[in-house]
Structure 1
Amino acid sequence: MLPLKTESGPSGCLTIYSNRTDHFDHKECQLLERLAANLVFGLDSLRTHSVREQQAAEIHYLAYTDALTGLPNRRHLIHYLDDILSTPETRATEYAILFIDLDGFKPINDALGHEVGDEVLRQLAQRLQASVRDSDLVVRQGGDEFLVVISGAVRNGPQQDFVKIVDIAHRLANRIIAHLGEPLTVGGYTHHLNASVGITLIPEHGRDPTLLIENADKAMYEAKRQGGGQSYLFSKDIADSHQQRFSLETRLRQAMEQQQFELYYQPIFELSSCRIVAAEALIRWPQDDGEVLSPGTFMPLVEKIGLINPIGDWVLETAARQLRAWHNQGLELSMAVNLSINQLYPNGDAEHFAGLVKPYVDPSWIHLEVTENALMEDPAKTEALLKALNDQGFQLAIDDFGTGYSSLSRLQHLSLQSLKIDRSFVNELDRPDSKGEALVAIIHQMASSLNLHTIAEGIETEHQRQLLLDMSTGKAWGQGYWFSPPIPAHEFERLAKARARLSSRDEMVPF
């Protein structure tokens, strides 16, 4: 009996039997001992190799598999796409990538915790896998983002054209959206999620895996931008749009750092006398070619990239400084400044806003304008903030009144002084058979009953001004191109001084 003492795994023994005593001489015993030693060495080598293979397989699995869902991960996808693109036969468009992003997943994580969120992702991954064919590759990229690679040739034979693969991709995307949108019960709650899907074609939209994924991502965001719950095919227009947005974002940050923005001021006048009583501060962005961009072309992006607070602070402080200069020249005007919903919620601070203004003017000279929709984001918190702003001395107005969803019962509890009648109602005043006149009259009557004064926006004709004046029941102001468009500070100053010198009511005509 020869012991087999291995370094890895269980030991053993090698037993050799003979039917007679002293069958093996000394040399034969030495040979058998060397045989046992070689067996030990071989067993150790074999076991070590097996362990290494197992470890390599585990490392490969961990490197190419998503730990949460068990699906292949992005690294696996890159290698898979590399293999597809390196195949000489991949010349026609036979493959498509679907980039899937869940709409409404973040609130689940925020409200119920990551354990519930992880279970939701696991179940949705199973649904996604069940929505596709065995030949389709399903990948979790991370977070609530998944990708699917489909082959048109596998589904409908080798001959595919562009139209067919696009149709296949859209039909699969719609099936995925429908399955993922079915109610899901996790953590004691039933969740209703939606999905947005972006589609790229291989190799139509690129021959680099990373580029193909990025393009599918861009198409997904376009689907999300259009309301979500749908699929969208990547196109060059989307790529150009994203490039323009990236360029605009870079320029916006530079403009903020280099203080390239300017404020224009639109006169607010008394409807009865046409006397200028206030100015609305409106941001403008001068360009190198002489063009001056209005807020609609860049402020949505400012909101999206998180620049609204520093730019909003700059607007408010600059407007207050300009108002101080006009007061020093004898122009006793008020100043209207718009506040974005992102300035108000969730971290709006009345003392902060007052601190920007007080070095120049008393806050009572500043009219802060908020939209109706801003009041609906968190009614209780917004109502408290408006009261705090009013306590600091600010005058408050609802901008674009009549276009949002504010509750009339809530208006009586808000710290407001003004309602700004949206231009869409004013535009209707000149049109025959329009209900605009009745609606504006109702707003005037309601404002009067709530002890609020009105400011009509978008006045473009003398007829509109006269109708608004006839309907007013109290202090009524207006603004619009009939009187003056937004103009630079020096032009506003010249206009305000000229209007102040006019004494005859008949002379009050637009400049």
Structure 2
Amino acid sequence: MTEPNKPAALALVVDDDELMRLLVREALESEGLRVEEAADGRAALEVFARAKPDIVLLDVNMPVMDGFECCGKLRAAPGGERVPVLILTGQDDDGSIERAYEAGATDFMPKPLHWKILAHRVRYLLRTSRSIEDLARSEASLAVAQELAHVGSWERRPETGELYWSGEIYRILGLDPKRDQPSFEKFLQRIPEEERAWLISAYAELQEKGGKYELEHHVVSPDGSLRAIYQRAEVFKDEHGRTVLIHGTLQDVTERKQIETRIRTLAYFDNLTGLPNRLQFKEHLGRAIRRAEREHSQLAVMFLDLDRFKQINDSLGHQVGDQLLKAVAVRINSCLRGGDEVGRNSDDGVSMARLGGDEFTVLLTGLAHAEDAAKVAQRVVAELARTYSIEGHELFVTASLGIATYPADGRDVDTLLKNADAAMYNAKDLGRNNYKFYSRELNERAVERLALERDLHRALERGELFLHYQPQVDVASGSVAGVEALLRWSHPQRGLVPPAAFIPLAEQTGLILPIGEWVLGQACRQATAWSAAGAGALKMWVNVSGIQFRDRRLVGAVKTALARSGLDPKRLVIEVTESIMMEDREATLAILRELKALGIGVAVDDFGTGYSSLAYLKRFPLDTLKIDGSFVRDLDAAAERDGAIVSAIIAMGESLGLGVLAEGVETRQQAARLHEMGCNVMQGFLFSRPVPAEEVPALVKSLGAVARASVAGKLALAAG
């Protein structure tokens, strides 16, 4: 019977965050579900008893009663045994996940939530729940039918050879009761060839020894599909011990098997890539360690993290990010030994997994030498660095990879993963797009890194961050054209922390966003303060990291900094590195246009170190090319190659109508060559180190005085 007027499924959303409940409600109602709400676990139990929801979406951290306790009480409540419970929480560690499932959760979904995926997950759990309910009802009905009417049963009398099949047997085997007479041969024709021999053997043993058996096998349907079958049979003897009847039943358990497979897939595989997930990888690694211990062999764990993936994901959206992760999984797999397929969990070579986000792991077993893992790592790093073309976007992404080996770097699962992770961070710290092996020194550095990260979280609110400013001098006019704001950190115990030690950490943790906004605001306020003090209308140059540049809030942050400081937009210049600009050129173009619409300047930092194309530079609304200091450094030695590069950059800037500034100028010879080539605006230790804000006005006057006192009126400033 159909139920055309059956109401839509009812979901109970339990979260103490009213906004989160509202967002989840909107996501579910847009998919046609009805929604009830509760703000804590105790209220959820009351709503559950009254409304009898079809599914429960449950937060963990709530007042009165947390989600774990609530889940356990729901399972004990009448009607709560089979209702799917989806845990929604920001806690995605193994302990929280294990505790959720122990409490009776059906599934686990970490926050922040992807609303489309949430709706699909709820629909899937509802379908699975209905299938399980249907299966339970079918099994109950079948048990009664088997007892009363022998539905799905067969009987054979050895003395006469007579064989009986019920109507359900015909249906399971796909045979016609009017045309096909019951026979063991007919039955075997429906059995896959590879299963026939052991079925014949099992039946022969049953006839010979008596007793009963329970078997699982398959039946080939007329359409060629395989059906999973559970078969039971039992021998009945008379008072003289002679077999008088063999009675059996067949049960089609295909749907149950499919549900079990789906449940296993949810528990052990990553939904996006189809790869084993963290849980399965750790189990497999544990088995591999035990085997390596018995065989006295070596294995390696590779921990891989994509460089700057968050920028792509944030700027282009999760759909592009998901497609990129799939492509990365395929490429990693192509680099592994023996041609194993993606996600294959083999015990004789490679196991690959996605741990979450943009983190992947690879297990290499049976290594003759631990260093053999380096060959695989080299292939992976090189392969992932190739261009990706996804949904019309040309993307560049690299990977940093850490390697830990058994038994040298650890003898258990958690230690090997932790040490491979530490090695991966070392690869990032050393420039990214490479791989590194673990060492004990790395562990010490990892501990140090965690302490530094903890302190960096508090540095901004404690006022430990401050700015220094380095002047940019026009040697032709002898004037200071502007200053670059440079971030510094004064740690209460460590003293001055080098920027190279904390800025990459801020980028990796996402702290660069609030810190970057603070830098913008502080720099703009300082430029306005200098003008009020009579120091002139200096331009303020501010570096923007790749994460800031791809963040949708950048333009708003610049607007806010200008509005609150009252700084003329023409006096603010945003610096973005060449490599970041070229990661996604169309997205870069859109961001640059928004920034230029504010009236500010845009400079390409570290120019010459990336892979810009002249065609794209013509399209980008830029103002200045900043020659990287690495090219300036060798001008002292009259290096032809670097001299040619600098000359080409200057010529390119002139042809595009862009200003050119050289950074890292440290000697008079460098300044002289740059001036001869046509670059007059320079920055570097030759003129001044970065100085505190209060020293800038006097420095501007002193540099100007040196220029005015110059004999030739051109390079005396540099010579001074």
What TM-score results when the alignment is normalised by the length of structure 1?
A: 0.68
1:285 aligns with 2:492: no
Question: Which of 448, 452, 462 does residue 258 from structure 1 map onto?
Answer: 462
1:211 equivalent in structure 2? 415
The one-letter amino acid of 1:301's match is: L
Query: Equivalents in 1 of 2:519, 2:531: separation in Å?
Result: 18
2:301 equivalent in structure 1? 98
Cα distance per residue 1:146-177 (max 9 Å; x no partner): 6658578xxxxxxxxxxx56368778989999
Q: Is the 8 A contact 1:428 1:435 kept in 2?
A: no
**How far off is 1:251 after superposition?**
1.7
Question: Which of 587, 593, 600 does residue 387 from structure 1 map onto?
Answer: 593
1:320 aligns with 2:524: yes
Q: Is the 8 A contact 1:459 1:481 kept in 2?
A: yes
Q: Is the 8 A contact 2:485 2:523 kept in 1?
A: yes
Query: Equivalents in 2 of 1:172, 1:452: separation in Å?
Result: 44
**How far off is 1:231 after superposition?**
7.7
Q: Is the 8 A contact 1:65 1:76 kept in 2?
A: yes
Cα distance per residue 1:197-244 (max 9 Å; x no partner): 765455554455433343344456667888999986543233223222
Q: Percent identity?
A: 32
Listed as ranges, the matches of 1:125-164 within 5 Å are 128=340, 145=360, 148=363, 150=365
1:337 aligns with 2:546: no
1:237 aligns with 2:461: no
Structure 1 100/478 Cα, relative in aligned 2: closer, same or farther at 3 Å?
Answer: closer
**How far off is 1:403 after superposition?**
2.2
**How far off is 1:308 after superposition?**
1.9
1:347 aligns with 2:552: yes
**How far off is 1:275 after superposition?**
2.2
Listed as ranges, the matches of 1:390-469 within 5 Å are 390-432=596-638, 434-469=640-675
Q: Is the 8 A contact 1:92 1:203 kept in 2?
A: no
Q: Is the 8 A contact 1:93 1:202 kept in 2?
A: no
**How far off is 1:195 after superposition?**
9.8
Cα distance per residue 1:54-94 (max 9 Å; x no partner): 9xx9999899965989999866776788799999x969964
Cα distance per residue 1:295-316 (max 9 Å; x no partner): 2222122111112221111111
3-state DSSP class of the match of 2:536?
coil
Question: Which of 205, 224, 246 does residue 450 from structure 2 map onto?
Answer: 246
1:483 equivalent in structure 2? 687
| Range moving further from structure 2, 168-177 or 246-255 | 168-177
Cα distance per residue 1:266-291 (max 9 Å; x no partner): 01112124322211100011123564
1:470 aligns with 2:666: no
3-state DSSP class of the match of 1:330?
coil
- Structure 2 alignment gaps of length 5 or more: 1-145, 156-256, 385-396
**How far off is 1:386 after superposition?**
1.9
Query: Equivalents in 1 of 2:665, 2:594: separation in Å?
Result: 32
The one-letter amino acid of 1:331's match is: A
- Structure 1 alignment gaps of length 5 or more: 14-53, 153-163, 181-192
1:357 equivalent in structure 2? 562
Q: Is the 8 A contact 2:275 2:354 kept in 1?
A: no
Query: Equivalents in 1 of 2:601, 2:409: separation in Å?
Result: 54
**How far off is 1:261 after superposition?**
0.8
2:203 equivalent in structure 1? none
| Range moving further from structure 2, 376-385 or 275-284 | 376-385
Query: Equivalents in 2 of 1:503, 1:151: separation in Å?
Result: 70
The one-letter amino acid of 1:450's match is: L
Query: Equivalents in 2 of 1:63, 1:235: separation in Å?
Result: 36
| Alignment RMSD | 5.6
The one-letter amino acid of 1:356's match is: A
Structure 1 7/64 Cα, relative in aligned 2: closer, same or farther at 3 Å?
Answer: farther
Q: Is the 8 A contact 1:101 1:145 kept in 2?
A: yes
3-state DSSP class of the match of 1:353?
helix
What TM-score results when the alignment is normalised by the length of structure 2?
A: 0.50
Structure 1 417/71 Cα, relative in aligned 2: closer, same or farther at 3 Å?
Answer: closer
3-state DSSP class of the match of 1:253?
helix
Structure 1 109/95 Cα, relative in aligned 2: closer, same or farther at 3 Å?
Answer: farther
Query: Equivalents in 2 of 1:276, 1:347: separation in Å?
Result: 33
The one-letter amino acid of 2:555's match is: A
**How far off is 1:503 after superposition?**
7.7
Query: Equivalents in 1 of 2:433, 2:699: separation in Å?
Result: 51
Query: Equivalents in 2 of 1:417, 1:204: separation in Å?
Result: 54
3-state DSSP class of the match of 2:640?
coil
Query: Equivalents in 2 of 1:7, 1:114: separation in Å?
Result: 57
